Structure 1
Amino acid sequence: MAVDMPAPIRFGEIEAVPSKAKPDLPWRSFSEKRFESRKIVQKVFPVIPVEKNGQAELAVLRPGEIVKSDPVDEPTESGTPESPTPEAVQWVGYEQGNRQSLYSVLATHDFRMREKVSPRGLQNSSNMCFFNAVLQSLIHCEAMYALLRSIQNKAAFKIKSSTPVLDGLVSFVGFYGLQKSSTLSASAFYNTVSTHPNFKHLEPGRQEDAQEFLGYLLDTLEENFDAAEPAPGDEELIAKETPLKETIEEDADDSWTQIGKHNKKIESREAGRTDHSNPILVIFGGRLRSVLKKPGESDSITLESFQQVCVDISADKVESVQDAIDHMLEKEELQIESRNKTVVATKQLEFDRLPPILVVTVKRFTFTYNDGSLVFGKTSKSLAITNITVECSGVKVTYRPVALVYHHGPSATVGHYTADVLVGDTWYNTDDEYVRELSEPTTDSKSVYIIFYERI
């Protein structure tokens, strides 16, 4: 049921000292009671829209902090604790007693869940098309959307946020899914992102590279998920998770020796994070295995984790995304120095772990120097976009495209970004405020830049 929503609350800070009257604020605090001589400091963070009894209400991600050492006496409401302790109040969400810590939500979330949402137009106030296209794509990755909705519906947050970007994204997704009758502004979430230390390079009004922004966003969300802390009552979850973490730490050595065929030693190294306890790694995280073979020496293996796979399309034989991936995995001959002589070695990439959502970035942009000046170029090559099949540990895995980001223009920071998204069996083109249904899915493009594939 669609309902009219108020505009999103902007970030800021406000102090209210109500006396003998309830605070006249555009969000809901702990209760409707009359506050006396207690000072409320309310950080105005993003809010989550909640539809209740046909009416839209705003659920604040950060409950008001009562600056008082005494236990707080709250009026008894149906379904809420009669006498919450200060610790319980600290974790209060929209409906007291019905919320979990973020840590608990993540520990109990079923990552097989899928949830879809109809596309909405996103306003473009100042060259935000790169931002909009990435958001549209992430939201229509059904595993990611289901996770964010689960957090929205279940999680309470501590007063002092250690997960600001995640909070902003959850709030934005809440508005995105609730009202479908008009376009939506992502400016509040953009402001959240742009003030984070990881995004110091963002400048309002300046076009950015969508692939670079996606990388920063996924890395920051990964950090935010790592910052999720257990709350009182999570002891059982912590006890269950401890053995797993200990196992991960034991196995996380960055170098070890493997035994290959004929008891031949294999030198192995690992780059990047290897455990998949973080939701971003669970959904988007994969791993590549690079095998270097030198005559008369042990094979050398390097394992490298990824959230995006970047493919080269410059070879003449590459006419599709499948061709580009196959080309990336081909065996390569190298001339290298070994034991004071030049030998011919071989190097080959393999998939060692595949994620539910495989993000493939096309190398469309080139950077060369001409007379001391950096020259930007773009490869406008047509690529067939269909299902792809990749092999991992001897098992073939098939993926289908569910979201595509396109770049229209001469270089990554000049031009315009749009996105196609799949909802059910129907493709939609999203171009900032405009959304239109496509009569058939895109199968060939000269401008596709990022493809989100879902494992079938």
Structure 2
Amino acid sequence: MGANSTKLEKALAEAPEDERYYGLENFGNTCYCNSVLQALYFCKPFRERLLKYAATLPSNTEENLLNCLAELFAQINSSKKKVGVVSPKKFVTRLKRDNEVFRGHMHQDAHEFLNYLLNQSCELLEQEARANQKQQQLAGGAGGGGGPGSQQGAPREPITTWVHEIFQGKLVNETRCLHCETVTCREEVFMDLSLEIEQNTSLTSCLRNFSSMEMLDRDDKFFCDQCCCLQEAKKRMLLRSAPPCLILHLKRFKYVEAQGRLRKLMYRVVFPMELKLSNTTADDPGAADTLYTLTAVVVHLGSGPHHGHYVSLIKSGPQWLSFDDESVLPITESEVQSTFGSTSEYGQNNMDHGYILFYERAGG
């Protein structure tokens, strides 16, 4: 890293002694992966749980995506030097082996990778938990059975993993029949929220639009169980509970039917350093005042969805840093704000756009 390393070390003179700032080697087209991994590494609740998980792994454990990630994070965390570069080759090789989407040398989508990684992590942890349950039941069987719910064919209880605890929130899909006024509610879970964007808007406005009322009429009428037929209705999606670490995805890539292709929306979307969620349900009225702090931004650089580059902007203590594959540099908050987007729809003056936002609940 040379001169950049010296500059970084000076900027981090007051950073926590146990923190590490390592660039990640790029294997031709893996910036989509590196940028997300950096955002997750500096998501402290996730990193702390993953390091605990790494410490419990037996030496002969079968390799999978999650323990490859745990090994990578442990390697960075235990490094003697404060700054440097590591190779995530083992993780990337496993990723490509597990999912053909990420093979080859095409430009990949960072959000698609993030979704896959979190969902796969949950699945692997659930498999481990079920295997442990089975072992306990077998051990308990010798003494006269494994308790209720252990019978073969009994419905399996859902498992909440530590990944769920950190990133999973709940939405309620609320639909009101305009004929009988019956309100139907359906709960959904999410690991991140994907938000439609408009030109010259704010993140708060995007969240408000996400929960705005939508009319269901004509071909989109709602089947009301009370009326036993299709009726006009109004529906909205509300945030019932937000997770400790809230991931927001700005939908910058849109399919344009007339052109028959995806295009990138250069829109200016202002996202705050501190966020309060105003569109919550009455179930948790205090949640509207919950304060979230911006900790990471995955930025897409380029004019289109099929090419370009990803970097991560990370806040560590009071300092913002840019992680661009192997390069790690201190930056200012104004440089983070420069990724809001362009004030003109087809503006070519700014190609760096905030794409995935990581917020952490203030106070843990």
Task: Provide the TM-score with structure 2 as the length reference.
Answer: 0.75
What is the aligned partner in structure 2 of residue 287 from structure 1?
Answer: 170
Task: Give SS of 2:301's match.
Answer: strand
* Greater share of residues in helix: 2
Task: Give SS of 1:151's match.
Answer: helix
Aligned residue identity for 1:452: F
TM-superposed deviation, 1:413: 3.1
| Matched-pair contact (CA < 8 Å) for 2:22–2:328 | yes
Q: State the distance in 2 between where 1:296 and 1:324 align.
A: 31
- Deviation string 1:152-186 (CA, Å, 9 cap, x unpaired) is 2x30337352x611110011111222334421111
Query: Cα–Cα, structure 1 residues 410 and 231, in superposed 2: closer, same or farther, change >3 Å?
Result: same
Query: Cα–Cα, structure 1 residues 343 and 151, in superposed 2: closer, same or farther, change >3 Å?
Result: closer
Match of 2:193 among 297, 305, 309: 309
1:323 aligns with 2:229: no
- Deviation string 1:326-353 (CA, Å, 9 cap, x unpaired) is 1211222332266699854211111122
Q: State the distance in 2 between where 1:424 and 1:303 align.
A: 36
Q: State the distance in 1 between where 2:128 and 2:59 align.
A: 10
Task: Provide the TM-score with structure 1 as the length reference.
Answer: 0.61
Q: Which has the higher contact order (CA 8 A, sep 6+)?
A: 2
What is the aligned partner in structure 1 of residue 356 from structure 2?
Answer: 450
Considering only aligned residues, what root-mean-square deviation do their CA atoms show, in Å? 3.1
Task: Give SS of 2:333's match.
Answer: coil
| Matched-pair contact (CA < 8 Å) for 1:276–1:282 | no
Q: State the distance in 1 between where 2:174 and 2:51 align.
A: 40
Match of 1:345 among 228, 233, 237: 233
1:437 aligns with 2:330: yes
1:155 aligns with 2:42: no
1:119 aligns with 2:21: yes
What is the aligned partner in structure 2 of residue 146 from structure 1?
Answer: 48
Q: State the distance in 2 between where 1:286 and 1:244 align.
A: 29
Query: Cα–Cα, structure 1 residues 430 and 344, in superposed 2: closer, same or farther, change >3 Å?
Result: same
Unaligned segments of structure 1, at least 5 residues: 1-114, 253-274
Match of 2:270 among 384, 395, 398: 384
- Aligned-residue identity in percent: 22
Aligned residue identity for 2:318: D
Q: State the distance in 2 between where 1:244 and 1:141 align.
A: 38
Alignment map for 1:20-35 (pairs within 5 Å): none
Q: State the distance in 2 between where 1:347 and 1:367 align.
A: 25
- Deviation string 1:258-296 (CA, Å, 9 cap, x unpaired) is xxxxxxxxxxxxxxxxx5621111111111101000121
| Matched-pair contact (CA < 8 Å) for 1:309–1:361 | yes
- Deviation string 1:195-246 (CA, Å, 9 cap, x unpaired) is 11xx1211232220000111011111111111225679x969x99xx99999
- Deviation string 1:101-140 (CA, Å, 9 cap, x unpaired) is xxxxxxxxxxxxxx98332111112111101001001111
Q: State the distance in 2 between where 1:290 and 1:358 align.
A: 19
What is the aligned partner in structure 2 of residue 414 from structure 1?
Answer: 307
Query: Cα–Cα, structure 1 residues 159 and 345, in superposed 2: closer, same or farther, change >3 Å?
Result: same
Aligned residue identity for 1:159: N
Q: Number of residue pairs matched? A: 306
Unaligned segments of structure 2, at least 5 residues: 1-16, 141-145, 342-352
Q: State the distance in 2 between where 1:244 and 1:284 align.
A: 30
* Greater share of residues in strand: 1
Aligned residue identity for 2:112: E
Query: Cα–Cα, structure 1 residues 169 and 434, in superposed 2: closer, same or farther, change >3 Å?
Result: same
Q: State the distance in 2 between where 1:329 and 1:340 align.
A: 27
| Matched-pair contact (CA < 8 Å) for 1:406–1:448 | yes
